[in-house]
Amino acid sequence: MELALTFFPNALLIFCRITGFFVTAPVFSAQNNVPVQFRIGISVFLTLIAFFGSGTQTPVPWDGAFALYAIRETLIGVLLGFLAYLFFTVVQIAGSFIDMQMGFGIANVIDPMTGAQSPIFGSFKFIVAMLIFLMIDGHHYLIAAILDSYQAIPLNNSFFEKIASGTVTELLVRSMSVGFTLAFQMAAPIVASMFLVDVALGILSKTAPQFNIFVVGMPLKILIGLMITFLLVPGFLVLFQELFGTMFDHLFELLRRLRED
């Protein structure tokens, strides 16, 4: 009992980091698809694994600074999950680009991850990305990343000093830049095609003014956009695998920058 009480604060800190990770991590943080009871249960289960793996090395004192330690561990988990979720928003950004060109920008649907409204093509690509992510066992890699984080970032870490140095902020800004670039690349084929359709409709409106471009143009852009999307579906697997590879590269780069020497 005395040994259990000695290391009980360690278990609580581990639980704080893992819970913060599942609050923001993709797939696990879906409000409408993943019940809260499941997230709490898997957090407790992973806490036991991480505790018996690396949580019994140095006991954390149960003093007034424990609240600060709990906030620090929660922020570490939230940061790791947020960086992974940042690359999932790439799909929705690409969908927003496509919807603005195809005319679907005024119609939104409910995003299964956040419960907020999102563009139609963004939600479609997001669901496809989530299915591919589960198919390649990406959720297992996320769980392995949060468990491996205790090897790089132990409980007695200097997280706030690493944040103050600016290296983590620089990585987050670079990740956002890379994510926006990937989103533009994903949407580029359809956006370019829609631009050519707009040019063709502009030429048609000058050569045949009797055509109502506003009536003909919108269904034509939707039809051509859906046809191009249908042709691009086989390439989604390679595209999303590259996206997820970039996500895990940045995630492990974050662990490297937070590593305690």
Task: Walk along the chain (261 residues) and give the pLDDT tens digit of each residue.
Answer: 566 667 788 888 889 889 989 888 888 877 667 777 888 888 888 888 888 877 666 777 777 788 888 888 899 889 988 888 888 888 877 877 777 777 666 655 555 555 556 667 777 777 888 888 888 888 888 888 888 888 888 888 788 888 888 888 888 888 888 888 888 888 888 888 888 888 888 887 777 777 777 777 777 887 888 888 888 878 777 888 888 888 888 888 888 888 866
Instruction: Give the helix/strand (H/E) hosting 207.
Output: helix 167-207
Q: What is the reported pLDDT for 119?
A: 66
Q: Which amino acid is at 2?
A: E
Q: What is the reported pLDDT for 176?
A: 86
Which of 127, 135, 90, 94 has its CA nearest to residue 110? 127
Which of 90, 104, 132 has its CA nearest to residue 247? 90
Q: What is the reported pLDDT for 117?
A: 60
Cβ contact 159:77 at 8 Å: no
CA–CA gap between residue 154 and residue 143 (Å, rounded): 17
What string of DSSP letters covers 146-199? HHHHHHHS-SS--HHHHHHHTHHHHHHHHHHHHHHHHHHHHHHHHHHHHHHHHH
